[in-house]
Every structure is written in structure tokens, then in C-alpha cells.
Amino acid sequence: MVRFKRISGSQIFFECLKNEKVKTIFGYPGGAVLPFYDTLYDIEDIEHVLVRHEQGAVHMAEGYAKATGKTGVVLVTSGPGATNTVTGITDAFMDSIPIVIFTGQVPRSFLGLDSFQEADVIGVTRPITKWNKLVRSPQELLEAIPKAFKIANDGRPGPVLIDIPKDVALEEFNFEGFSKKESTYKSEPKDLPNKIQVYSKIVNAFKNSQRPLLYFGGGVIQSEASKELKEFVELTNIPFTSTLQGLGGLPGDHPNSLGMLGMHGTYASNMAVDHCDLLLVLGARFDDRVTGKTSLFSKNSYKVHFDIDPSNMDKTIQCDFRVEGDIKYNLKSLLPHLRREKDLKKTVEKQNPWWKQISHWKKECPLLVNKKELGATLILSKLNQILKKNKTKFSVVTDVGQNQMWASQYLHFQRPKTHITSGGLGTMGFSVPAAIGAAFGKTEENLKKCEKEEELVISISGDGGFQMNMQELITAATYKISVKFIVLNNSYLGMVRQWQELFHKERFSFTSLEGANPDFCLLAESMGIHSKRLDNLDDVENAIQWLLSPGIKLLECVIPQEEMVFPIIPSNSSIKDIITERFSKEEK
């Protein structure tokens, strides 16, 4: 009796992907991956999204992973196909996004001979992946693919790359079936050995505090700890601030929210960080855009740091108490200790003066909306108002620069996995493809849950970043994947211009795109996407309503080049150096 079947490397590749419950892959064919595409021709239960550039494929996989919590999968060819993925892989590495990239490679006997479309992609991607591997036989795929998915998701998530020579994909072998069907993505979290002491100490730290503050980051969203965090905030009535990646971890309009912290964070959140006596940090890594000058960052507070990655502990800021592990698991274990605490109410009452101080800071320097002229603050605050009024479920994918900061300031994210952006690497050109990937993910989730209500995916870019990956508009149009594209067009590389104005004596060196931009509306129309230009203050509401109506739409918003993101704490400075408006009172 024969208990095995003859199967090729490319066939086993897709069997392994099915085993990992992969439904969508983003890719681009080429010589070295021809066997995979040949096998894919007959596969119906995996959707392949044909992109227009390999960088777009990786950003789409990132958007998909961030929007769904699943693993993003990319398939590209060898040489230039593989090297084109490098920026996206680095982006995923910096922002801890679980993606698995499969690259084709020249046949084994051609390796190292400077063959056509050969690149040492393992060498190139070694420092920007959690793990990478060149597969030497089709049998190795059986071990490498599940391992890739596990490593991408386990602990602090990140990208993994598998390089597959063409002849490995073609070679047949005797396949005896999978040893186990269910693959486990994440290691089971374990209890701290001295958990009662640890959690009691944290509760005591809170009880002894008069000015506590919670600061959380993307780790809360990665570990799906929003529910537990909300209960924590409600039990302790602690004010909270979040990093850029943490937005959506708790509702943006929650009464305890102080908004984002850091360089372009709110005045209230940065003042609270500076004045608190207890700083509870959850799933954040004290990025330099958050801390500014590290020696002055929250220097009088007792700092408790929860993080899954031990290498984040004490990296930039020395904390007083550190707990390594899954945030959700640790919060879940901490909550019963808080619930049991009888005099928590007294503690909360004791913190009333702190709340008064916070209210004063909120009033002293709120985020301003310029209603007198058409600008980004007005457009985005109006968009937020309309989305809230219509109770629309939405996700926003931003690019990098001013558009990213305005969106983080003026849009209120209500749920986790609804704010997607390139934080660590700051990759211009991220938004368009990542929004398309997110929309694929949301559509897949909707189909699974049989939900009728479509979740809107809105891409927000500046005119500079939009042009870096605008070729992917045609991908959205081809697959009829509904994304609302907003281009905030100030005909400048706005954030660089802002720094040139503030810190380089207004020497606007090579940042102007005036007269050098394409017609974004015509461009969209050429790809079958409806478009509109908003250049009149009175049309804001109508234009947004038009954008939010069904279909793929592009709204170009013409905004003034002088509009800046405020407040701003200059790089390597502290809250004392905050700039809240263009001119000081004396200059006015």
C-alpha cells in the first residue's frame, strides 16, 4: 500500500500555506517563481493580489496584517523582485508587523555564480528580519514554512523571509502528509513565578501615587489587550496617553484620554508626562520621537514598564520596575488584584488635584482648528465629525509627514487595528498600498463574519508620499477594492518644509513641488477611479460626503503650503521647548 504521493516543491508550498490558513497573498511573478505561479493557476482557495511593484506588495501585506491581526504573505521573484521588498521588510521590522516573504531564487547549481537575477537576499535581509532561510530541498519547506509563521508571530512580531531556489520548487518528492494539522503561532504565556508580589507592588505603587499616568503603545494592540486596558482605566480612573502606534488601543474620545504624546503630541499629554509621579508604560519602547531629550523625560516619576521584548527594557529610559511578557496576559492577571482593593476609591479621590491640573493644561493649549481658510486641520476635524455623526466604522491608513501627524491629532480612533501607519521607519509611500492591503483584510473579515456593514478604509497622504507608490491605485481599481484616498496637496514636502522654516532659517532647499506635481484627479480618472478636487472652504462638507459615498474615490485637497503641525517639541528637546504656534506673542 502506497502511503505517500509524488508532489513538487511548489505544490507543497501551497499546501503549507493552506495549512497556515492563508487566504490572501500579495505578489508579482517573475522567472524564478514561475513554478509557483504555475501551481497557483489551479488554486482557488487562495486569492493572489497582483501588485504593480514589490514594495507595494510588502506594504499591502503590512496593512492586511495590521487590520486583521493575521500574518501578511508576499510572493516575489529573485534579484530585483526580492531587493524591491527591502524597504517594506524594514518597515515591518521596525513596527513589529508579522509578515512572511517568499522570494524566488536562481536554481541551486547557479547560486554564487552571479547568475541572471541572482541576489544574496538572505544576506541583504538578515539584519531586517527576525529570521530568514534559504531552503535547500522541497522537504525543508515542510519545516521552514510553519517555523516562519511561528517566528513572525511569536513574542514581538516581525518579518520572516524564505528564499526558495527555482529547482526546489520544481523538484518532486514523496509527501507523506503533515505531521500535525494545527500550527501554533504563539507560545503560551506563562505566569510570573512571583506574580502575587509583582502585581501587589504595582497596585501599591498606584495607591501611593498622587499623579499617575498611563502611557501605552502598539504592544497593547498587538496583544489584543484593549478590553483589559479599558477595565484597568475604569477601575483606576487613570489619565492616559498613547504613542502613534497605540492610537485606537482605547477610544480617542474617552474622558481620560489626553491624546498622543511626543514631538507632535498634545500639550496636556506632554505636560502630564513631565509632571507625573507614576508612569505606567505598556507595550511601548520609549521611541526618541516620544522622549525627546532622554535625560529630561519624566524625570521625577517612578516608571513601571510592561513589554514582551526584553531588549526594549532600559534601552533608552531606565525604568524602576520591569515586567516582561504578554501585555494582555499580565493585565488580566493584574486586574483581580485591583478589583479586590477596597480603598481604591480613596486613592482616586486623592488624585483630584491632578485631574484639575490636567484640565487646566487641556484648556491652556488645545489643538486648534483654523476655520477661516481651507486647511488640513479643518478638513480632518470635519471628517472626524462626519464619521462620528454617521456612526461609520472606519480605518485610517496614513502616510508619513504632516498628513500623518494631523490625522493622529484630529481623528478619534475608537477601536484597535483602525489606525495604520508607518511609525518606526517613517516610510513615505506607505499609505496607498497599505490601505489597499487593509481593505482586502477587512473585506475578508466581513465575509467571514457575514457582516453587511462595510468598514471604510481611508488612505491619507501628502502629495509627496502619494507619488511614491501611486502606481498601486490601479491595483485597487482592478480588484474593485473600496478605498477612499485623500491627498493633502500643499505642493511641498510639507514636514521637511516645516523644519526648514522653523530650524533652517526658511531656506526651502529642494522641497517645493509647485508646478511639478501631476494632476492627481486626472491620474485617478485614468485608472478608473472617481476623483474630486477640493479647493474651496465652503465645499468641505459636500466633498467629504462625496468621498464617503460608495466606490473607490480620490479627493485631492488643496491646502496652503504654510500650514504647520503644532504643537512641536524640537528634536532632542523637552516640553519646555514646545512651540505651539507659528509666531510668538511678541512677534504677533
Partner 1 sequence: MNPNFEIKIIFGNSFDSLNKILNTFCGKGFTLETLTTHVQYQRNRNELKMKIKGPQKLLIILLKKMATFPDVFKVSWNETSSYLFNEGLQRATPINNKKKGELNETLL
Please, how many CA atoms are within 13 Å of residue 332, restricted to the half-sphere of its CB?
A: 15
Q: Which of 421, 433, 428, 478 is nearest to 74 (CA)?
A: 433
Q: Is 86 a binder of partner 1 (CB under 8 A)?
A: no
| 321 contacts partner 1 (rule: CB under 8 A) | yes
Taking the C-alpha atoms of residue 162 and residue 118, their distance in angstroms, rounded to an integer, is 15
Q: Are strands 321-324 and 419-420 parallel, antiparallel or unpaired?
A: unpaired
Residue among 323, 435, 456, 527 that touches partner 1 (CB under 8 A): 323
Shortest distance (Å) from residue 202 CB to partner 1: 9
In this complex, which beta carbon is closest to partner 1, that of residue 208 or of residue 352? 208
Our finding on whether 320 is near partner 1 (CB under 8 A) is: yes
**SS3 category, 512:** strand
Distance CA 462, CA 408 (A): 14
In whole angstroms, the minimum distance from the beta carbon of 286 to partner 1 comes to: 12
Residue 133 binds to partner 1 (criterion: CB under 8 A): yes
Which parts of 242-281 interact with partner 1 (CB under 8 A)?
Answer: none
Binding mask 140-179 for partner 1 (x = CB under 8 A): -----------x---xx-----------------------
- Please identify which of the residues 47, 117, 313, 332 carries the catalytic annotation: 117
Q: How far apart are the C-alpha atoms of 440 and 326, rounded to whole Å?
A: 28
Query: Which residue among the candidates 166, 303, 328, 417 is catalytic per the annotation?
Result: 166
Q: Toward partner 1, which CB reaches closer, 47 or 309? A: 309
Active site residue 495: yes
All cell numbers assigned to 264: 507632535
Residue 234 designated active-site = no
Identify whether 116 is a catalytic site residue: yes
Question: Does position 536 bind partner 1 by CB under 8 A?
Answer: no
Q: Strand 172-175 and strand 5-8: pairing?
A: antiparallel
Burial class (CB within 10 angstroms; exposed 0-12, middle 13-18, buried 19+) of 577: middle
Q: Which of 15, 54, 118, 556 is catalytic?
A: 54
Q: Which is nearer to partner 1, 121 or 411 (CB)?
A: 121
For partner 1, how many residues bind (rule: CB under 8 A)? 34
Q: What are the φ/ψ torsions at residue 460 (nearest 5 degrees)? A: -120, 125
Tell me the residue length of the chain: 588
Binds partner 1 (CB under 8 A): choice among 201, 388, 412, 533: 201
Helices (H) and strands (E) in the chain, counts: 24, 20
- CB nearer to partner 1: give 206 or 566: 206
Query: Using an 8 Å Cβ cutoff, are 306 and 279 in contact?
Result: no
Q: Which of 18, 21, 116, 143 is catalytic?
A: 116
Q: How far is the CB of 342 from partner 1 (least distance, A)?
A: 21
417 among known catalytic residues: no
Q: In this chain, which of 313, 344, 474, 521 binds partner 1, going by CB under 8 A?
A: 313
Query: Which residues, in sequence order, are bridge partners of residue 568?
Result: 579
- Answer for the pair 432, 481: CB distance below 8 angstroms, yes or no: no
Binding mask 422-441 for partner 1 (x = CB under 8 A): --------------------
Piece of the chain touching partner 1 by CB under 8 A; list 176-184, 197-205, 264-272, 476-484: 197-205
Q: Which is nearer to partner 1, 320 or 541 (CB)?
A: 320
Report the C-alpha gap between 231 and 235 in whole angstroms: 6
User: Which C-beta is closer to partner 1: that of 151 or that of 221?
Assistant: 151
Least distance in Å: CB of 309 to partner 1? 7
Rule CB under 8 A: choose which of 16, 32, 49, 198 binds partner 1: 198
Q: Which positions ≥6 away from 103 have C-beta within 8 Å?
A: 32, 76, 77, 78, 81, 82, 85, 121, 161, 162, 163, 164
Q: Considering 60, 263, 495, 527, which one is annotated as catalytic?
A: 495
Written as one letter, the residue type at 268 is A
First-last CA distance in the chain: 91
Of 453-512, binders to partner 1 (CB under 8 A) are none
Residue nearer to partner 1 on the CB measure, 313 or 335 = 313
Least CB distance to partner 1 at residue 221 (A) = 20
Q: How far is the CB of 256 from partner 1 (least distance, A)?
A: 25
Instruction: Report H helices in 237-325.
Output: 267-275, 288-291
Region for residue 74 given its phi and psi (left: phi exceeds 0; alpha: psi -120 to 50; beta: otherwise): beta
Residue of 6, 126, 345, 360 interacting with partner 1 (CB under 8 A): 126
Laid out side by side, the sheet with 394-398 consists of 419-420, 394-398, 456-462, 484-489, 553-558, 530-534
User: Of residues 197, 300, 370, 549, which one binds partner 1 by CB under 8 A?
Assistant: 197
Q: Is 428 a catalytic residue?
A: no
Q: Which residues bind partner 1 (CB under 8 A)?
A: 122-123, 126-127, 130-133, 151, 155-156, 189-194, 197-198, 201, 204-205, 309-311, 313-315, 320-325
Catalytically active residues are 54, 116-117, 166, 495
